[in-house]
Amino acid sequence: MNIRSTSINHKQIYNLRTHGEKLDRLARPFPSLSSFLEEMHEACPPEPFFSGPRSSSIHAGPLPVYDQPKTHLRCEHTLQGLRVNAERFAERHEQVQVYMLENDDCTVAMEVPLWIDYQEAGVFQALMTADVFLSGHVDVLAIEEGLVWIWDYKPGAEKERWVHVQLSAYALMLSRRTGIPLEKIRCGYFDDRLCRTFVPRQVHIDCFDFYSYVPSGQNRQTVISPKPSRNEMLVFVFDEQGHHSIDVPEPLPESQRRSGSVAGRTPAGTFRIVKDGDTTTFEELGLQKPESQLHLSTLYTWHLFVNEQKSVSAIADLREMKESTISGHLYAAAMDGLMDLSRLALVADRQTVATICECINSLPEDADGRLKPVFLTLKEEFDYGKIKCAIALGKRDGLIHNNQYV
């Protein structure tokens, strides 16, 4: 099997892999793509990847119109990759990516580095200074029916909200680096249960209204404007005649609207079971509120986990939240003494704890005990909530030797 692999250090190690035979066969209409990938193997420039905002940190609207087929080969390949490569690779991303590169007829590359400078960035200049870049790494690159596909593996894909910005940025970067027109590029994201695709368009990108991003050298989101709720997001529509418009969703019923501004808070003493749903109380649900100063939403997650014995994924599905949010709730509950620390093993299993602790022990001094270096070094494989739980268990078991995290 003609697979070439090159390790690239961009704050963390990325393993660019390309499949020579499939590139020779599928990339004939795109010779500049083959040349670019060859150049990245030989001499990928480091400068674009050490400054500027991360594409995956940018939150903006409007949404594209997604195509969501009932079944997709990417989902099946994800399941197979997680099963077949479980012992071969520690990280789920690599398990899935390598399986697709080796077994999918259309996948030609993985972990492809991309970037644009300030002059090339267009609307993204609003988030940049003239001396920085916008950059990222494509999980899976494929060529199918004369189109170049940019794919992103997103565990928990159902709850993703902003991935269209990241993928649109990647499409723009790929077009700038190779000269392939956007019309020949498609984007999609997937996990083992869901796959969504869309057509990246310059007129859509030019309409981006930025809500927040993580600036260069920082770790927290900088808010530009209040974010609408998921149900209030505008949608960019492009018809067959080439006309485009912005669809405004129907207003929510009064009972479901947030108080005050778009980013308003729930009334005191209440919480929402579902992120944008009606407010309620423990009393209305017939539940006994534990003695704790934690947020009521966190306490409700604790109740579902401890008293109703629901799993993290089941709670996330029930509450329409990301598993990272639920894991964070349970970490807070354990730290507050509402449950024994050992219960966190149901959030972060032994292998997860070992992987995260091994990563922490290898981090340099400038990691400063922060979660983000762990998150990035492990290629976003584990969410922040799970990392917190793993650190707590690792401390208990004496697995962490990096004093920054003890």
Q: How many CB atoms lie within 10 A of CB 251?
A: 10
Of the candidates 116, 371, 366, the residue with the CA atom closest to the CA atom of residue 220: 371
Check if the beta carbon of residue 301 is closer than 8 Å to that of residue 313. Answer: no
Q: How many CB atoms lie within 10 A of CB 165?
A: 23
**For the segment 296-324, what is each residue's pLDDT rounded down to a tens digit?**
999 999 999 999 999 999 999 899 888 88
Q: How many CB atoms lie within 10 A of CB 204?
A: 22
Instruction: Kindly give, in sequence order, each residue whose CB lies less than 8 Å from that of residue 403, ignoring residues fewer than 6 positions away.
Output: none
What is the length of the chain? 406
Q: How many CB atoms lie within 10 A of CB 239?
A: 9
Token pair, residue 10, equals: 């961009």
105 CA to centre of own chain: 25
Q: What pLDDT score was predicted for residue 262? A: 43
Instruction: Kindly give, in sequence order, each residue whose CB lies less than 8 Å from that of residue 22, ignoring residues fewer than 6 positions away.
Output: 105, 106, 107, 108, 143
198 vs 190: CA distance, rounded Å: 12
User: Average pLDDT over the chain, rounded to whole?
Assistant: 91
Section 262-268 average pLDDT: 58
182 vs 124: CA distance, rounded Å: 16
247 vs 239: CA distance, rounded Å: 12
Element (DSSP H or E) covering residue 190: strand 185-190
> What is the band of 253 on the pLDDT scale with cuts at 50, 70, 90?
low
DSSP-derived pairing of the beta strands 222-223 and 235-238: unpaired
Token pair, residue 56, equals: 């995956």
For the chain, domain boundaries:
3-247, 266-346, 350-405
Cis peptide bond prior to 373, omega within 30° of 0: no
Token pair, residue 63, equals: 């949404």
**For the segment 69-120, what is each residue's pLDDT rounded down to a tens digit?**
888 999 999 999 999 999 999 888 999 999 999 999 999 999 999 999 999 9
41 vs 132: CA distance, rounded Å: 23
Instruction: Kindly give, in sequence order, each residue whose CB lies less than 8 Å from that of residue 66, ignoring residues fewer than 6 positions away.
Output: 196, 197, 198
| Bridge partners (DSSP) listed for residue 54 | 135
| Bridge partners (DSSP) listed for residue 12 | none
Q: How many CB atoms lie within 10 A of CB 330?
A: 28
Burial letters for 363-393: b for 16+ Cβ neighbours within 10 Å, e otherwise? beeebeeebebbbebbbbbbbbbbbbbbbbb
**For the segment 22-76, what is each residue's pLDDT rounded down to a tens digit?**
999 999 999 999 999 999 999 999 999 888 888 989 999 999 999 998 889 999 9
> What is the band of 365 on the pLDDT scale with cuts at 50, 70, 90?
confident
φ, ψ for residue 7 (rounded to 5)?
A: -85, 130
Token pair, residue 13, equals: 């190690």
Distances (CA, A) of 105 to 68, 143, 152, 242, 268: 21, 9, 17, 32, 55
29 DSSP assignment:
T
Q: How many CB atoms lie within 10 A of CB 284?
A: 10
Give the Cα-Cα-Cα angle 24, 108, 151 (nearest 5 degrees): 150
Section 242-259 average pLDDT: 68
Of the candidates 81, 75, 83, 251, the residue with the CA atom closest to the CA atom of residue 158: 75
